[in-house]
Amino acid sequence: MSDLIVPHGKEERLIPLLLEGDELQAEIEKAKTLKQMKITSRETSDLIMMGIGAFTPLTGFMTKADWQGVCDEFTMADGTFWPIPITVSTDDEDIKEGDEIALVDEETGTTIATMQVTEKYTIDKEHECESIFTTADIEHPGVAKVMAQGTYNLAGPVKVLSESYYPEHFKGLYQRPAESRKIFEDLGWSKVAALQLRNPMHRSHEFLAKIAVEVMDGVYIHQLVGKLKAGDIPADVRLKAIDALVDNYFVEGTVVQGGYPMEMRYAGPREGLLHAVFRQNYGCSHMIIGRDHAGVGDYYGPFDAQKIFDEIPEGALKCQNLNIDWTFFCDKCGGMASMKTCPHGKDDRVLLSGTVVRKTLSEGGELDPRFSRPEVVKILQEYYQNLDDKVEIKLHGAATGDVKK
């Protein structure tokens, strides 16, 4: 009997939808005879998350009742807690309810899954955006993707045929929930805190992880390897940087690294909840929620993603939030500190931000040594020096500290 937290959902077991063996080969052949529908990279990554069991207990794309319930009440039609709609869309008028179709990644041409269409429906896209992102501003990258969706959503169960390029391209990092659970069990862990990353670890990330190491059996540094927005640092560079940090500044056996294929939605508080849902499936009992979790620009308050955990029904989510206050380097303290441990003023503090790190290095500037370890800075400098296409990186309030708590 495992001591790890149970997976999300009423069945309390992982429900992977990825076919294997003869069943997989038969479905691949069948898919060749079906009508093909192209899907976006976000829809592809959601399918793979369902395939590996990370989106347990989902068995397919959501119905209109699910969509409405998730937007308005954080619950699917069967009462299962879920914070963000998982949907697939099309403009194809010929696809009907009852059809079986093949879902093909528009970027790679890979057939990712087959789907039995049980419902075809329209949605109020602005309502989804206001509910999930708290804004319908098209400049928000998550809003832009929702507004670009097709006219119709399709619901129905799926059979996943491929994990695309993730297992090979991110070998040694990419993990299925069953694999991370096995690692934690072998280490004897039961209290596991997940640290969400889409940037290389700077000193604040390191501090968050070390706080968690003090009170947990271990920390799962779990970084996103799905598609990011322009200007974000690719996963292979982040992996090298995190390896350098873990190898030099963490006690052996206190940290495990992993990667997952979901795309960021930049949905702030709602995405914080989604991160906790699938981290529960990966075996994590706690989710570290720091400043501006899953945020973008100034759309969310710096601690909105912490507050939302107190607003959901009690018992809806077994993975608990591990809230940590503003963290920074304090010159007077002579090291990393937080609002709860440092009595000094703003002038003594250096607020650390991945956005500032990326902006400084992308513009060829010298990074303040209080921001990041030298081993990490060297790796990032090499990356930016060899980068042909530069993307302008804008600073926002959450990155500079110019916001109200």
* 264-285 confidence digits (pLDDT tens): 999 999 999 999 999 999 999 9
Neighbour-count burial for 87-114, b at 16+ CB within 10 Å, e otherwise = bbbbebeebeeebebbbbbeeeeebbbb
pLDDT score, position 394: 58
pLDDT score, position 217: 98
Tell me which of 127-141, 227-241, 312-326 is least confident.
Answer: 227-241
E strand intervals along 261-360: 286-289, 320-323, 327-330, 335-338, 349-351
Domain with CATH 3.10.400.10 in the chain: 21-164
Q: Which of 153, 176, 181, 199 is catalytic?
A: 199
Q: Which two tokens stand for residue 383?
A: 């990356």
Mean pLDDT within 157-177: 95
The pLDDT tens digits for 339-373 are: 999 999 999 999 887 777 778 888 888 888 888 89
Q: pLDDT higher for 170 or 15?
A: 15
Mean pLDDT within 180-184: 98
Mean pLDDT within 205-229: 91
Separation CA 28–CA 23 (nearest Å): 9
Q: Is the pLDDT of residue 391 over 60?
A: no
State what percent of residues in the chain have pLDDT above 70. Answer: 95
The pLDDT tens digits for 25-51 are: 999 999 999 999 999 999 999 999 999
pLDDT score, position 247: 94
Domain with CATH 3.40.50.620 in the chain: 171-260+266-400
pTM of the model: 0.92
Mean pLDDT within 286-290: 94
Provide the mean pLDDT of the chain. 92
One-letter amino acid of 132: I
Whether 370 is a known active-site residue: answer: no
Mean pLDDT within 134-147: 97
Q: Which two tokens stand for residue 398?
A: 């959450």
pLDDT score, position 92: 98
Tell me which of 59-68, 252-261, 344-353 is least confident.
Answer: 344-353
Q: pLDDT higher for 399 or 343?
A: 343
54 neighbors 281 (Cβ within 8 angstroms): yes
267 neighbors 84 (Cβ within 8 angstroms): yes
pLDDT score, position 232: 74
Q: Is the pLDDT of residue 390 over 90?
A: no
Separation CA 223–CA 174 (nearest Å): 9
**Any idea which fold 21-164 has?**
Sulfate adenylyltransferase (3.10.400)
Q: pLDDT higher for 353 or 177?
A: 177
pLDDT band at 384 (very low <50, low <70, confident <90, very high): confident
CATH class, domain 171-260+266-400, is alpha beta
Q: Which of 176, 198, 238, 279 is catalytic?
A: 198
pLDDT score, position 113: 98
Chain-centroid distance, C-alpha 55: 12
Whether 198 is a known active-site residue: answer: yes
